[in-house]
Amino acid sequence: MKSKLLIPGLTLLIIPVLAFSQQPGPGPLSKEARQRIEAQRIGFITQKLNLTPDEATKFWPVYNEYKDALKDMRDDFERPDLMNITDDEAATIIDRHLQQEQKRLEMKKKLFNDLRKVISPRKIILLHAAEREFNRELLQRVSSRGPVKPLKMN
C-alpha cells in the first residue's frame, strides 16, 4: 500500500523541481547585448550632458578609462561563502573592502579632476544624475524581462 502512494508522491514532488530548474534565467548577457547597452549608455549620457562633438571626443576616453578601472577592481574581488567564514576571514574582507572604497574614491577624484579640463563642473554633476537615470531605466527594463530596447532620451 505504501509503495503505491510512494511513487506518485515522489513524482508530484520531482516534477515541479525539474520544471522549475529548466526555466530560462536571465543568465549572462551576450557580447552583442552588452555592446547595444553600451551604445545606448553613450547616446544617453551624451544627450543628457548636451556634449558638443569636441567635448564628447575628449570626454569619452577619460570616462571609459575610469569605468574600465572600476570593472577591473570588481573583477578582482573574491566572493567568499559568507555563511562559513571565520571572524579573522571576515576582518580581512572588511579591511580589503575599505581599501577598495578608498581606491574608488581616489579614482573618482582623478576622474573629476580630469573631466574639469574637458567639461564644465555643471556637466560633471549632471553626469552622476545621468548615470543613475540610465541604470534605473535599464534595471526597470531588465526586471520586466522584456528584450533590451532603446531607452528614451528625453
In tens, the pLDDT along 42-77 reads 999 999 999 999 999 999 999 999 999 998 887 656
Task: Specify the DSSP class assigned to residue 23.
Answer: S
Q: In a 3-state reduction of DSSP, which class is residue 109? A: helix
Q: Are residues 148 and 141 in contact, defined by beta-carbon separation less than 8 angstroms?
A: yes
Of 4 and 116, the structure prediction assigns the larger pLDDT to 116
Instruction: Name the grid cell of 120.
Output: 564644465
CA distance 14 to 129: 48
CA distance 92 to 54: 45
Give the global pTM.
0.67
Given a cut of 80, whether residue 19 has pLDDT beyond it is no
Task: Specify the DSSP class assigned to residue 26.
Answer: -
Q: How far apart are the first and last CA of the chain?
A: 68
Amino acid (1-letter code) at residue 114: D
